Structure 1
Amino acid sequence: MQQSHIEKAHVAQRFAKAHQSYDAHAIVQKQICQQLMQLIQQYVFARHCSQTNVTHALEIGCGSGRMTHLLLQHAQIHQFTLNDLYPEIQQHVSAAAYPATQIDWLIGDIEALPLPQRLDLVLSSSALQWMSDFPALMQRVQQSLIPQCYLCFSTFGAKNLQEIKALTGQGLNYLTLAEIQNVLNETGFDVVHISESVQTIHFEHPKAVLQHLKATGVTASSAKHRWTKQSLAQFYQDYQQFSQRNAAGLSQYTLSYHPIYCIARRRL
């Protein structure tokens, strides 16, 4: 269940390089943020109206700030601690835009940092798949939450970027929905919602697939993978197996995303 091979410094470097291009290219991640926000509204805010007034929230892996801004549009948060691996992300959230919210930064590997305490909301979108020890982090998150308060997150499952893994052998070892649910149950959470879907996006050429991954920083999983002219040509050729004809009869190349959504409440 551990992702011991993940090199966090390399992940930080790749995402820092991509942070300017990420927001324009991370189309699926944007949709995932919107879906997660809908689930938070449905399972947290709609059922516990006082939760729209949050005393202290923590976001793990805030990245471009998309999820941060969505939450701040739907909830009054008095103190909001934002975490990510690299300091460049601080430019994406302006404290001046949210004068009623105290924004604190927690820069670095969340698995190696002390967590804020007495939290009444912890959220994360498209980040927890990078954790080396998901159960250990969930145990610490559980201890940092006030009883009956919520952990809300999206992560990715085994079919995520399955085309890339099939051709290069590069990729993360994703937890299944059942494994995530078991971890949460064992660490003192009641799972009030968990679901998954597979979304496919299309590109005109396999080269555009790689450009998309680079622009979103996802190549961070390939620390030791180096492309050569020959290996690129082979990759383009092999990617033909993932091509389809569109309505105009032109070839298009698929890339799969496999989001998993979870809303969990800390037990007493």
Structure 2
Amino acid sequence: MPLDKAKIKQSFAAAAVTYDGVAALQRTVGRALLGTIDTEKLAGTLLDLGCGTGFLTSELLGFCQPIVALDIALPMLQLTRTKLADTPNVSYLCADAEQLPLAGQVVDGVFSNLALQWCINLEAVFTDIKRVMKPDSRLVFSTFGPQTLQELKTAWAKVDDYSHVNDFYSEQQLTRFLQLAGYTEIAVETQLYVSSYGSVLALMKELKHIGAHNVIAGRNKSITTKTVMQRMIGEYERHRANDLIPATFEVMMVTAS
């Protein structure tokens, strides 16, 4: 996928101060992700990859320490550090998940909540994660699937031919990337979450506030006109029901070792 890594970093850095106020879905998915594993068996050093403002980091601390919290956006990482200032067993790394600054076989497990979809080369990411994990460790992560924001994507497609909504890998593609990286035991659970909004603009504002708006490389650089935006909103309004518009998020929760 032609993602712009510099724009991803910039978007999440800018969203740090607004993220927690609108990240209900991320918290819900994070709890569901923890629910897929036996937390009583967690032991050793865990890596929270793409920690954001530290929600999953904090949850993991209830089961296991120490934790390495890693994020590409320094403001996000600083917020996590501030929240966990009284917790001694957390290390902080500002780094790209696609270039892990860690030695081989140093962590006992890797967790990532709705972050890996912003990586460009997932096969390489999965290979590097396997490098830093000790033998028999597990990678546990959630990521968005291709049905995510399908209503918004359909509405834009009726207006022009540009890419306005990010694409996401399918279960089959994720499984293939993991297999190519050397994982043999792979389990995937898929669930659809539907959030409701009073308006299309409210949805788009939320996406911006969590840093998840369009980060596609090579997209249309011209400013979207008011007329085009109104046409897109009109198309999206066809989905309105009970005075609210829906937004679908397909979430895949994956365990691999």
TM, length-normalised to structure 2? 0.88
Match for 2:50: what amino acid?
A: G
Taking the aligned partners of 1:12 and 1:198, their CA distance within structure 2 comes to 27
Q: In the alignment, which residue of structure 2 is the partner of 1:172?
A: 166
Taking the aligned partners of 2:247 and 2:50, their CA distance within structure 1 comes to 23
Pairing partner for 2:27 from 22, 25, 30: 30
Structure 1 position 193, deviation (Å): 2.8
Which stretches in structure 1 are left out of the alignment for 5+ residues? none
Match for 1:29: what amino acid?
A: Q
Taking the aligned partners of 2:196 and 2:188, their CA distance within structure 1 comes to 27
Taking the aligned partners of 1:173 and 1:109, their CA distance within structure 2 comes to 20
Query: Helix, strand or coil: the match of 1:120?
Result: strand
Identical positions, percent: 25
Pairing partner for 2:198 from 204, 207, 211: 204
2:100 and 2:128 in contact (8 A); partners too: no
Query: Helix, strand or coil: the match of 1:235?
Result: helix
Match for 1:263: what amino acid?
A: T
1:10 and 1:220 in contact (8 A); partners too: no
Q: In the alignment, which residue of structure 2 is the partner of 1:183?
A: 177
2:175 and 2:186 in contact (8 A); partners too: no
Q: In the alignment, which residue of structure 2 is the partner of 1:123?
A: 111
Which stretches in structure 2 are left out of the alignment for 5+ residues? 157-162
1:58 and 1:81 in contact (8 A); partners too: yes
Q: In the alignment, which residue of structure 1 is the partner of 2:160?
A: none
Structure 1 position 222, deviation (Å): 5.2
Larger strand proportion, structure 1 or 2? 1
Aligned length: 245
Q: In the alignment, which residue of structure 2 is the partner of 1:148?
A: 136
Q: In the alignment, which residue of structure 1 is the partner of 2:70?
A: 83
Taking the aligned partners of 1:13 and 1:59, their CA distance within structure 2 comes to 20
For the aligned residue pairs, the C-alpha RMSD in angstroms reads: 1.9
Taking the aligned partners of 1:68 and 1:156, their CA distance within structure 2 comes to 20
1:36 and 1:154 in contact (8 A); partners too: yes
Please say if 1:195 is aligned against 2:165. Answer: no
Q: In the alignment, which residue of structure 2 is the partner of 1:67?
A: 56
Structure 1 position 139, deviation (Å): 0.9
Structure 1 position 173, deviation (Å): 2.9
Query: Helix, strand or coil: the match of 2:126?
Result: helix
Match for 1:65: what amino acid?
A: G
Query: Helix, strand or coil: the match of 2:92?
Result: strand
Aligned CA distance change for structure 1 residues 83 and 116 (closer, same or farther; 3 Å): farther
Query: Helix, strand or coil: the match of 1:39?
Result: coil
Structure 1 position 164, deviation (Å): 2.0
User: C-alpha deviations, 1:123-156, integer Å up to 9, x for none?
Assistant: 1110111111000111111121111111010001
Q: In the alignment, which residue of structure 2 is the partner of 1:161?
A: 149
Match for 1:122: what amino acid?
A: V
Q: In the alignment, which residue of structure 1 is the partner of 2:81?
A: 93
TM, length-normalised to structure 1? 0.84
Taking the aligned partners of 1:115 and 1:166, their CA distance within structure 2 comes to 41
Structure 1 position 232, deviation (Å): 2.1
Please say if 1:217 is aligned against 2:211. Answer: yes
Pairing partner for 2:8 from 8, 11, 27: 11
Query: Helix, strand or coil: the match of 1:218?
Result: coil
Query: Helix, strand or coil: the match of 1:188?
Result: coil
User: C-alpha deviations, 1:231-256, integer Å up to 9, x for none?
Assistant: 22112211112211x2xxxx210111
Aligned CA distance change for structure 1 residues 132 and 203 (closer, same or farther; 3 Å): same
Q: In the alignment, which residue of structure 2 is the partner of 1:254?
A: 246
Larger helix proportion, structure 1 or 2? 1
Aligned CA distance change for structure 1 residues 106 and 179 (closer, same or farther; 3 Å): same
